[in-house]
Structure 1
Amino acid sequence: MLRYFDLVDDKYVPDRWFLGAPVDARGQELNPWQFTEGIRLDLDEELRLPVLQQGTPLELDQASFAIPVAHARVVDIFERLGVKDVQFIPVEIESQPDRYFILNATRVVKCIDDARSGQVNYWKPEDGQPAKVGTYRAVHRLRIDPTKVGDARIFRTWGWVVTLVVSEDIKEALEREHVSGTRFVEV
């Protein structure tokens, strides 16, 4: 059976940089959640990412709001693997000559295994968030049901889109290429 992994930002890299939320060319902050909704985006403006804390640049990172950011080398790896369901949106990072992209996973899969996950909580009507009722409020020790994934190799989990899941072949390729900034947690 195929294995899947939560692609997690490695916060323990020594002296690493930390990136802020995307802004447009005028410096106005964009809606950051649009990059985690699992939909293809049509953006015709130049995007920038501020560096909140200077340090060692990473090749695969998460900016504020868990927005995945990939170095051009990571994009090349995904292209060699023929990974679909992903959009790479060019983004300029201050003081950085290398090319970077926001990694936008464009597929959402309803596959969280509530029984095998550590603990799940759902939004309820009394929580005062009508648009969120029935979706996950929290998921601890996430586990998915791989039989519900189909042919997806990179995706967000329905109802808990802050999680970015990749297939084992993507994980192995990123590890083989020694991509900096990644950590994987089996789901």
Structure 2
Amino acid sequence: MRIPNRWHLRRPLDEHGQKLNPWQFTEGRRIEPRGVIRFPVKPDGVTMDFTLDAFSTPVVHGRVVQLFERLGIQEVQFLPVQVEGHVGPYFILNTLHTFRCIDDVRCEEVQYWKPEDGELEKVGEYKYVKGMRIDPAKVGDSRIFRTWGWSLALIISEDLKQAMEAEGLTGTRFVEV
């Protein structure tokens, strides 16, 4: 989001222009696509190999798919998409694993949803996480995953980060957790 003049992908739509549930792409499970997924772009601008839509859904260029295939990473599903006004190939990077691995003690600050917050389906999940730290022992040898209770975080291993940087992929920003 900090790249000047970058493109902005909006909420995903189906082939009929109906809004799709964007949160399905953060649940850490395989999705059976129904029809063509489209992303409107507004404003248009600099395209990237890795970008997040308006709901933090990772949308990647085929270069990312090729890299993951070369590295043998099978912890993701790539769902083909059309990006309005842009020739692809583009894909949603759907991560298939979620781990309860946030290390509350080592994080700068964490807050949980409580019943009085009025979001009963979220009670017990993270409401706010600042300065996230994870417990690596809880993720095994997984190279890409989401964190339970704070699904906006997309965590990758150091070797995958280095491979993405070496490939010169655009649009990424890494923060050690």
- TM class by shorter chain equals over 0.9
Q: 1:28 to 1:149 in 2, by over 3 A?
A: same
Distance, in Å, in 2 between the alignment partners of 1:34 and 1:107 is: 13
Q: Tell me whether 1:71 sits opposite 2:61 in the alignment.
A: yes
Distance, in Å, in 2 between the alignment partners of 1:104 and 1:136 is: 21
Q: Tell me whether 1:44 sits opposite 2:34 in the alignment.
A: yes
Deviation at 1:129, TM superposition (A): 1.5
2:152 corresponds to which residue? Answer: 162
**Aligned residue runs from structure 1 range 35-184, under 5 A:** 35-184=25-174
SS at structure 1 position matched to 2:5: coil
Question: Which residue type is aligned with residue 48 of structure 2?
Answer: L
Q: Deviations over 1:16-40 (max 9, x none)?
A: 1111011001111100100111111
Distance, in Å, in 2 between the alignment partners of 1:56 and 1:26 is: 27
Aligned counterpart in structure 1 of residue 4 of structure 2, from 14, 17, 35: 14
Question: Greater strand share, 1 or 2?
Answer: 1
Deviation at 1:44, TM superposition (A): 2.2
SS at structure 2 position matched to 1:90: strand
Where in structure 2 are there 5+ consecutive unaligned residues? Answer: none
Q: How many residues align?
A: 177
SS at structure 2 position matched to 1:38: coil
RMSD: 0.8
Distance, in Å, in 2 between the alignment partners of 1:98 and 1:40 is: 22
Query: Percent identity, aligned pairs only?
Result: 53
Distance, in Å, in 1 between the alignment partners of 2:150 and 2:6 is: 27
Q: Deviations over 1:89-135 (max 9, x none)?
A: 00001111120000000100110000000100001111122211111
TM-score after normalising by structure 1: 0.92
TM-score after normalising by structure 2: 0.98
Q: Tell me whether 1:25 sits opposite 2:15 in the alignment.
A: yes
Distance, in Å, in 2 between the alignment partners of 1:98 and 1:85 is: 22
